[in-house]
Amino acid sequence: MIAIVDDDASLRRSLGNLLGSTGFLVETFPSAEAFLETGKVAAINALVLDVRMPGMSGVDLLVELGRRDSRLPVVVLTAHGDDDVRKQCLRAGALAFLTKPFQAKDLLDAIQRVTSND
């Protein structure tokens, strides 16, 4: 199961379609808070996460997952991919960092890479 957390509804839909077409089960969430509120964190195999969202940011979610001792593999997608943001995400626990726009193959490769680390 792959979770997608992004405030952009069209991107959530596109990512869900892409990942679903390659055989992944996908659940999407419009915010970090919505993802945490489901109580499904332990059932997720990987998380595709946006950085800049209203409310809790992607970095805040990474920090919260770390606080909960979560080992959830995270792929960060962002349109704001400067080096400081990248370093902050990787320090907070992300295993891969891609900037938007990205190639579908790059996302699929990143998901494969982070889920094979189990």
What is the CATH classification number for the domain harbouring 19?
3.40.50.2300
Find the domain containing 60 and state its range.
2-115
Mean pLDDT of the region 43-61: 95
Based on the structure, what is the number of domains in the chain? 1
pLDDT digits (tens, 9 = 90+) for 86-108: 999 999 999 999 998 899 999 99
Report the alpha-carbon distance of residue 54 to residue 7 in Å, rounded.
8
CA atoms lying within 13 Å on the CB side of residue 12: 17
Would you state the pLDDT for residue 4? 97
pTM above 0.85, yes or no: yes
